[in-house]
Amino acid sequence: MSCSTTEKLRRVPSDEDLMIAAGSGDRGAFGQLVERHQTSAWSAAYRFLGDSAEAEDVAQEAFLKILDAAPRYQPSASFRTYLYRVITRLCLDHVRKKKPFYTQTIPHVAAVAPSPLETVTDQEAGQIIRAALESLPSRQRMVVVLRYYEGLDYAETASVLETTVKAVERLLSRAREGLERKLGRFLEV
């Protein structure tokens, strides 16, 4: 075997390669995509919706939509951006149907149980932050989730929301102003 053949065998396929393979009927390739991105898909939906079961439903629906669209997939953006675009649309559709419950943190099993005081303090802080985030218009709330919780840069966020970087900057600015108004007293403590 030549070096280039060995390199090809060892090369991990990109998300875009896997999506193209899935579009050709390779269910294993699609399974790899789901394994790579199911946690981040659920996380983005959960941070926006605040309900674990609803987030799971949205993530599953997103992957089903992506699988259905796989034969038509053209890698004009990263797969991750494509995935977040689908998640965003589904979350925004969900908001139109039902008022979301936003949460600050993703639930996890703690190694050591927090004290009752820590639990109450965290719950109060979470409720205050949730209320402030819920008060934002849905596009501002989504831009906060994508930028600060999911770590997308401005260009990726703009691509997901199908808008310009400048529009993302304006949305974030308005969201920050709204959050500062709502959380001002809380932040001063």
pLDDT digits (tens, 9 = 90+) for 50-101: 888 999 999 999 999 999 999 998 888 889 999 999 999 999 888 777 654 5
Q: Does domain 11-188 have CATH number 1.10.1740.10?
A: yes
pTM of the complete model beyond 0.85: no
Question: Are the CB atoms for 63 and 87 separated by under 8 Å?
Answer: no
Rounded Cα distance between 87 and 55, Å, is: 10
CA distances from 87 to 60, 115, 161 (A): 10, 36, 10
Distance CA 59, CA 91 (A): 10
- CB–CB of 22/33 below 8 Å? yes
pLDDT of residue 11: 82
- The region, left, alpha or beta by phi > 0 then psi within -120 to 50, assigned to residue 50 is left
- Please give the Cα distance from 141 to 41 (Å, whole number): 16
Domain range summary for the chain, segments of one domain joined by +: 11-188
* pLDDT of res. 122: 61
